[in-house]
Amino acid sequence: MIQPDRPDDEHDFALRPKCIADMVGQRDVIEVLRIAIDAASKRDEPLGHILFDGPPGLGKTTFATCIPREMGVTVQMASGPALKAPKDIIPYLTNLEDRSVLFVDEIHRLPKAVEEYLYTAMEDFRIDIVLGEGVSARTLNLQLKPFTLIGATTRAGMLSGPLRDRFQLREHLGFYSLAELTEIIDRNAQKLNVEIEPDASAEISRRSRGTPRVANNRLLWVRDYAMSKADGKVSTAIVHHAMKMTGIDPLGLDRQDRRYIETLIRVFSGGPAGIEAIAHTMNVASDTLVDEVEPFLLRSELIIRTSRGRCTTPKAYEHLKITPAAADETDDDLPLFSES
Ligand code: ADP
């Protein structure tokens, strides 16, 4: 695949909004944050702890970097899976400055021991440190600087109740509208010094799955294509050619997405089929399908999940221009819907 999943660090840094005013969309979340930031600044207190949840690439890290800038305080960045034991988080906590921010990405992946260690830090700005070992061990109670923990998660449901309840604000980030993504693409084209036609940015946004990170990836690839194959100017025709080359179709589906639907239609007569059976047929790990392929297909209403397995919808046949088999049309044994 030519496109990277994430833009490299240099592009990520260049394109990431520097302050909340530069962020597009998420108006409800921004309104709440502005009030909280304003009130905390007036009281000269740290902002209450904040939890952001939502699918990848929607702006959780961006909020976590913009909020400290608005408050005029420093930020430390940490990641749940990297904090394997309480000792790993101690340096972050002892390095905190007054009202500074500690950002923990993928906070649902914090081990239980680290999570519990955070409780007193979050609630009373205090931690216990054990010095020495065995009979000579003693506990030092350390007062921390008042700080704000910003947690980000793609799986809010996996967070334990006690941790979730310690966040004063919990904000869900939703997908972006076409108009918002088009605005992001136009602004970023300007940052990259790329000339882009208005229709071309709308065309990229239609193929960006409602996700700014995907929009940035698509824009970077289209820019490279335009520079290599044409005069560098991005027109709608250039977008079409560039997207075709990487297998991104007008709905934003990639080759793997279409292979999933084709497998379900051709091998399993449109379903219902179990995820393991689909994964074996495609020779792909079932986790990959569940985490990376299915969410967008479900959201696009191209497949549904039933208690008996995955099924395609009429829209999937229409999109892939496949005529449903006659057997499927006469099948009156309709799948049962379930929450699974
Ligand atoms: P997450 O942490 O939710 O996975 P990020 O905050 O890293 O997502 O966002 C990915 C990229 O998308 C950022 O580098 C930024 O360029 C862009 N982005 C995200 N949210 C916005 C927004 N509201 N306005 C403009 N660009 C955004």
Distance (angstroms) between ligand 1 centre and the Cα of 58 equals: 5
Query: pLDDT, tens digit, for every residue of 122-157?
Result: 999 999 988 888 888 888 899 999 999 999 999 988
Ligand 1 atom showing the smallest separation from residue 152 Cα: 2
The residue among 92, 48, 54 whose CA lies nearest residue 67 is: 48
Give the 3-state secondary structure percentages of the chain, helix then strand then coil, rounded to 5: 50, 15, 35
Helix (H, G, I), strand (E, B) or coil at 315: helix
Poorest-pLDDT segment among 46-50, 158-162, 231-235, 320-324: 320-324
Question: pLDDT band for position 325 (50/70/90)?
Answer: low
pLDDT at 10: 65
Query: pLDDT, tens digit, for every residue of 62-85?
Result: 999 999 999 999 999 999 999 999
Distance (angstroms) between ligand 1 centre and the Cα of 56 equals: 9
pLDDT higher for 166 or 7? 166
The percent of residues above 90 in pLDDT, for the chain, comes to 83
Q: Which residues contact 120 (CB under 8 A, 6 or more apart)?
A: 126, 127, 128
pLDDT higher than threshold 80 for residue 327: no
pLDDT at 134: 83
Mean pLDDT (the chain, rounded): 90
Burial (CB < 10 A; 0-12, 13-18, 19+), residue 262, is: middle
Let me know if 61 is a catalytic residue.
Answer: yes
Give the phi and the psi of residue 231 in degrees, each rounded to 5: -95, 10
Among 53, 105, 254, 257, which one carries the catalytic annotation? Answer: 105
The residue among 56, 7, 53 whose CA lies nearest residue 295 is: 56
Query: pLDDT, tens digit, for every residue of 2-58?
Result: 343 445 566 677 899 999 999 999 999 999 999 999 999 999 899 999 999 999 999
Among 16, 61, 65, 148, which one carries the catalytic annotation? Answer: 61
pLDDT higher for 220 or 338? 220
Instruction: Among 62, 106, 107, 154, name the best residue to mutate to test ligand 1's pocket (greatest count of ligand atoms within 8 A of Cβ).
Output: 62
pLDDT at 334: 44
pLDDT at 235: 97
Spell out the domains of the chain, with CATH numbers in brackets.
10-172 (3.40.50.300), 178-246 (1.10.8.60), 255-333 (1.10.10.10)
Q: What is the pTM of this model?
A: 0.89
pLDDT higher than threshold 70 for residue 202: yes
**In the β-sheet with 169-172, what is the strand arrangement from edge to edge?**
75-79, 101-105, 148-153, 50-53, 169-172
Let me know if 153 is a catalytic residue.
Answer: no
The vertex-174 CA angle with 3 and 13, nearest 5°, equals: 45
Question: pLDDT band for position 289 (50/70/90)?
Answer: very high
Helix (H, G, I), strand (E, B) or coil at 97: coil
